[in-house]
Structure 1
Amino acid sequence: MKKEHVLLCWQSVRAGNDVLINAVKKLESKLGIQIDRVMLLQQDKTPSFTADGLNRRIQTEIIELADPTDHAEVYQRVVEQVLPKVGSVVNLHINTSPGTPAMHSVWLVLHAGGRFSPSTKLWSTQWNPKTSRTSLKPVNFNVSTYMSEIRHRSFSEPNLAIYEVEPASKKRKEAFEQLKRFTLIPNIPILVLGERGTGKTRLIETFVKATKQKEVVTVACGGLDSSVAESFIFGHKKGAFTGAISDREGILKSANGKVLFLDEVQDLPQIVQRKLVRVLQDHQHCYRPVGADKEETSSFELVCASNKSFSELTEVLDADFLDRIAMLKVIIPPLRDCRKDLEHDWQKVWYELNIGEGYPKVAPKNKEIEQVLQSDDLRGNMRDLQKLAVLIMAYWDTSDVKKCINTGLTCWKKDRNSFVGHPIDDNASLTREEHVNRFKSDLANWAKNTHGTWEEAAEHLNCSEKTLRNDVKALDK
């Protein structure tokens, strides 16, 4: 199946439609690139085109801008309105010239940040009023950043929901900045903590891989059989035990020159923990395969992750082992503490699960979904969003989109009537007031989910609706 070529650009104000018409002609006649669709960004509605053969290919998008010279506003509008609609386009062409200087620079910033598919081509057009001709030249602006590398994985694996590398919420921004800083320190273990469903595994396999510029070897500790865990991690020699019919290379050997990622580290068997204490005591990482006479070395960097709090880990992990893996600690905040990022998270999750042809590329939204994103406790984090997306898809009907969204939401809420508050952990960054705010937010969300509306929740708790809404909003300040 032929992949369509799409041209994206702003409406040219001074030269009118001639810039667009001539740019398409140049691409098609001079370069042999057949433009199947034009996505034309306009600040307001303009008269229809009169160019034969081009009208039917134009898809206009109204982008309301208070100030078209404001870089931040232009950037935000394009990210919110345009990116979801071109995210799956492989053969994307962008004419960077039409529009204000702010619009020109935004295309370059987005391209450098890996916001478009890696095969996207940038073009510059210049209109000559004397000759009434338009020149077309490629824009060679290939800047590689860790952000572009992470985003490019989204295009190579389109159905993979990856965190936005430029979060809007304060807590997520701080956590990602800390993770980046810690990752840049070589040979020092990092411990990543966070509730289930916060995407720790995927975060490490994308962010850490990009910043360290190394492959990540992932070990799911929860799936290790304790009877073979030692051999799996350290390897073994032929005859070391019954069934060892040949030498086996362990994970430590496989991780040489790479990042070793121990996921669900709380489930690592005690015997492996104790042996790893010796391995982690210096940068040489000396270890002895099962049944071996001599030690071997492996130059790997270690990252561990757990959905347990640090205080819980002290109860289940060997103290010496925990000391070594927790030299640098990052806590990934839950979704309810990152409200400003949830619309983007929702779009990412929808796109990841949207592998059928019958669903829109842009995630569905209405007042009820917006309310979920702004006030629900989302105890399962990303998994809650995934479940909501799947349920809406299950009842999807293009003839009555509103009904299918409401049906999916109703099914999703049926299992959400139990109040489970935050565990009191040892997060030293939280003050007493912040712990109290967390509890108030949990209580407010529980009451609303249980009784259906803020009004009924307020009546049940004998307080005002405003009090409950403020309790929920307090966490994102």
Structure 2
Amino acid sequence: MSKPTVLIIDDEPDILELLDLTLGRMNVCTESASTLNQALSLLRKNHYALCLTDMRLPDGDGMSVVRHIQQHSPCTPVAMITAYGSLDTAINALKAGAFDFLTKPVDLNRLRELVSAALKLTQSASEPEGQEQDPLLGVSPPMERLRKQIGKLARSQAPLYISGESGSGKELVARRIHALGPRTEQPFVPVNCGAIPSELMESEFFGHRKGSFTGAVADKPGLFQAANRGTLFLDEVADLPMAMQVKLLRAIQEKAVRPLGTQQEEAVDVRLLCATHKDLAIEVAEGRFRQDLFYRINVIELKVPPLRERREDLPLLTRHILGKLAQRNGLPTPQITDSCMEMLCNYRFPGNVRELENTLERAFTLCENQRIETSDLQLSGCPSPGGDDSQDLSQIDHLEDFLDNIERQAITQALEETRWNKTAAAKRLGLTFRSLRYRLKKLGLDD
């Protein structure tokens, strides 16, 4: 098996020599270029397992290298070498498609970790795909777009913000990104930030030493240490208290954590994926989330579509969920009537796939003779197919009052689903914030 070759682009002879020696000890061949034109010429003629490029070059910049590789050889990882403190430059490179970045002076341990991860990525791209089934079900255009984005983002080490409504499958997306990336053999550690008591949060995240507080009877590693060399998935990150946001920002910036009870920091290498059903930009604007932390975790945003935007996937999802329920209970998969499927396809599913799973589990339990009817679904506010639930006009005394009542119910439901966040409720209903505020006042709901 031939040795992989890495292209190093830098105009400083000392840096070229240092990287060449370090990679040589890793059994990796290197080629070097000291100008942008020389680098582009080599990239047009040869294929490389990895490209390391300095940001500043005599005749251009490293971003031109990133863009060239993204256009002509997107499977080649490229890492940017930037001056210490040039974080904005590094973030721009990640957004443009860079695999990762290094800062000068180059930390050799960090360099070796980066090269190893990149070579794993290149190797996995050249091997035939495994037999593992894609857990993300759906053939709708939004799901096909999501799959393409996941495939691209899995190749990067950039922090990723996964946005989407509750129950839409954000953790499933995070697990898929981890599985397709170079860290797949390392731990994937999911954390629900809203489920950790605030007084235990620092210990849970960063670990503690024996005797650091009452009840600390032994050393305990934190979640960052547990995810070292792997992926840390922070779900509901908007629920972190402000004091913890400060400590998380420092851990991300320094790539190190300090356990409770010690003054020594421990280096950690994690890929950070964050998610929340809240709108983080709104949380920042309203002072509940730090802007500097938002910029750090939101280098790239990935939006998971709600179920109502991919209704054509409902039959496939329904069959899959019912099949799993049948297998778990040792029973045959029940039939679902056409009218029942039509009802599911017409329902908005504010709770998304999680609500669909709960609905089908209830119907699975209630149905008779292995056949699910519309009555088994118990979907509130969903008219029966064929107009069976059409209104009896004799029951309507005044049309305006009747319509106001429907509007009041819809707005109240949206507010309850968004924990009375008016901005999020307006978005859920397809209204502007000003329009929602007017309707709340009109309906007497603005108290």
Alignment of 1:172-191 (within 5 A): 172-186=143-157, 188-191=158-161
In structure 2, relative to structure 1, the CA distance for the partners of 1:371 and 1:253 (3 Å cut) is same
**Structure 2 residue 366 is matched with structure 1 residue 383:** no
- Whole-angstrom distance in 1 between the partners of 2:234 and 2:155: 19
Cα displacement (A) at 1:198: 0.6
Partner of 1:358: 331
**Structure 2 residue 169 is matched with structure 1 residue 202:** no
Number of aligned residue pairs: 270
Compute the TM-score of the two structures, normalised by the length of structure 1: 0.51
Cα displacement (A) at 1:175: 2.5
Aligned partner (choices 346, 349, 354) of residue 321 of structure 2: 349
The answer on whether the counterparts of 2:343 and 2:374 sit within 8 Å (CA) in structure 1 is no
Aligned partner (choices 298, 306, 323) of residue 334 of structure 1: 306
What secondary structure, in the 3-state scheme, does the structure 1 residue paired with 2:379 have? helix
- Whole-angstrom distance in 2 between the partners of 1:235 and 1:436: 39
The answer on whether the counterparts of 1:191 and 1:303 sit within 8 Å (CA) in structure 2 is yes
Cα displacement (A) at 1:235: 1.0
Cα displacement (A) at 1:390: 1.9
- Whole-angstrom distance in 2 between the partners of 1:246 and 1:299: 24
In structure 2, relative to structure 1, the CA distance for the partners of 1:232 and 1:351 (3 Å cut) is same
Deviations 1:174-203 (A, max 9, x none): 2232232122112x1111011111111123
Cα displacement (A) at 1:306: 0.7
Partner of 2:129: 145
Partner of 2:141: 170
Cα displacement (A) at 1:334: 0.4
**Structure 2 residue 236 is matched with structure 1 residue 250:** no
The answer on whether the counterparts of 1:150 and 1:207 sit within 8 Å (CA) in structure 2 is no
**Structure 2 residue 305 is matched with structure 1 residue 305:** no
Cα displacement (A) at 1:344: 1.3
The answer on whether the counterparts of 1:335 and 1:378 sit within 8 Å (CA) in structure 2 is yes
The answer on whether the counterparts of 2:150 and 2:176 sit within 8 Å (CA) in structure 1 is no
The answer on whether the counterparts of 2:280 and 2:294 sit within 8 Å (CA) in structure 1 is no
Alignment of 1:316-327 (within 5 A): 316-327=288-299
User: Which ranges in structure 1 are unaligned for 5 or more consecutive residues?
Assistant: 1-142, 152-161, 428-434, 440-477
Cα displacement (A) at 1:425: 10
Partner of 1:272: 244
Alignment of 1:38-117 (within 5 A): none
In structure 2, relative to structure 1, the CA distance for the partners of 1:337 and 1:350 (3 Å cut) is same
Cα displacement (A) at 1:415: 8.7
The answer on whether the counterparts of 1:266 and 1:317 sit within 8 Å (CA) in structure 2 is yes
- Whole-angstrom distance in 2 between the partners of 1:334 and 1:194: 7
What secondary structure, in the 3-state scheme, does the structure 2 residue paired with 1:413 have? coil
Letter in 2 for 1:310: L
Deviations 1:48-100 (A, max 9, x none): xxxxxxxxxxxxxxxxxxxxxxxxxxxxxxxxxxxxxxxxxxxxxxxxxxxxx
The answer on whether the counterparts of 2:347 and 2:382 sit within 8 Å (CA) in structure 1 is no
RMSD, matched Cα: 3.2
Deviations 1:110-157 (A, max 9, x none): xxxxxxxxxxxxxxxxxxxxxxxxxxxxxxxxx7426x3244xxxxxx
In structure 2, relative to structure 1, the CA distance for the partners of 1:357 and 1:242 (3 Å cut) is closer
User: Which ranges in structure 2 are unaligned for 5 or more consecutive residues?
Assistant: 1-126, 384-405, 432-447
Aligned partner (choices 381, 405, 408) of residue 373 of structure 2: 405
Cα displacement (A) at 1:437: 10
The answer on whether the counterparts of 2:154 and 2:180 sit within 8 Å (CA) in structure 1 is no
The answer on whether the counterparts of 1:259 and 1:303 sit within 8 Å (CA) in structure 2 is yes
Letter in 2 for 1:343: P
The answer on whether the counterparts of 1:395 and 1:407 sit within 8 Å (CA) in structure 2 is no
Identical aligned residues as a percent: 26
Cα displacement (A) at 1:207: 4.1
- Give the structure with the higher percent helix: 2
- Whole-angstrom distance in 1 between the partners of 2:315 and 2:430: 21
In structure 2, relative to structure 1, the CA distance for the partners of 1:296 and 1:437 (3 Å cut) is closer
- Whole-angstrom distance in 1 between the partners of 2:274 and 2:296: 11
In structure 2, relative to structure 1, the CA distance for the partners of 1:202 and 1:251 (3 Å cut) is same
In structure 2, relative to structure 1, the CA distance for the partners of 1:240 and 1:421 (3 Å cut) is closer
- Whole-angstrom distance in 2 between the partners of 1:232 and 1:421: 34
Aligned partner (choices 178, 184, 199) of residue 227 of structure 1: 199
- Whole-angstrom distance in 1 between the partners of 2:278 and 2:429: 21
Letter in 1 for 2:227: A
- Whole-angstrom distance in 2 between the partners of 1:345 and 1:251: 33
What secondary structure, in the 3-state scheme, does the structure 1 residue paired with 2:336 have? coil
Deviations 1:320-368 (A, max 9, x none): 21111111111101011012212111122222333223332xx633222
What secondary structure, in the 3-state scheme, does the structure 1 residue paired with 2:181 have? helix
The answer on whether the counterparts of 1:149 and 1:210 sit within 8 Å (CA) in structure 2 is no
What secondary structure, in the 3-state scheme, does the structure 2 residue paired with 1:304 have? strand
In structure 2, relative to structure 1, the CA distance for the partners of 1:250 and 1:421 (3 Å cut) is closer
The answer on whether the counterparts of 1:163 and 1:345 sit within 8 Å (CA) in structure 2 is no
- Whole-angstrom distance in 1 between the partners of 2:281 and 2:223: 28
Partner of 1:294: 264
Partner of 2:50: none
Letter in 2 for 1:227: E
Letter in 2 for 1:333: P
Letter in 2 for 1:145: E
In structure 2, relative to structure 1, the CA distance for the partners of 1:149 and 1:358 (3 Å cut) is closer
